Amino acid sequence: MKFYYVYILKCSDGTFYTGITNNVEARLNQHNAGLNPESYTYTRRPVNLEYIQEFTDTAQAIAFEKKFKKWSKAKKEALIKNDFDAIQALAECRNASHSKYKP
């Protein structure tokens, strides 16, 4: 069975990078080696692995990665800390026009 991993790296500038791979160690080494000058992490090295989630289904891994890429920095930090209450709070809509704010 082949495994796929969605991972979050913390860059040297404090930002996060989210990716997908089937070999976490090799991919982390590639990021830190700076093989691609066009890569987001190239000028933000070194990077540290902060979070990893394992999948057996490629489609699920890709969908999970796409979802994570859209998350705020605060929400990613909550995920890294396994603070699911914070993730829930950060996911709530705070727009004044949201139905929960209407009488």
pLDDT tens digit sequence for 46-85 = 999 999 999 999 999 999 999 999 999 999 999 999 999 9
Q: Cα–Cα distances in Å, from 11 out to 47, 48, 93, 99?
A: 4, 7, 28, 38
Mean pLDDT of 27-42: 96
Structure tokens at 44: 């933000």
**Which residues of the chain form CATH 3.40.1440.10?**
1-70
Instruction: Print burial letters for 50-86: b (CB count within 10 Å at least 16), e (below 16).
Output: bbebebeeeeebeebbeebeebeeebbbbbeeeeeee
Among 31-40, 60-69, 78-87, 93-102, where is mean pLDDT lowest? Answer: 93-102
The CATH T-level fold of domain 1-70 is: GIY-YIG endonuclease (3.40.1440)
**pTM for this entry:** 0.86
Q: Which of 53, 90, 94 is nearest to 74 (CA)?
A: 90
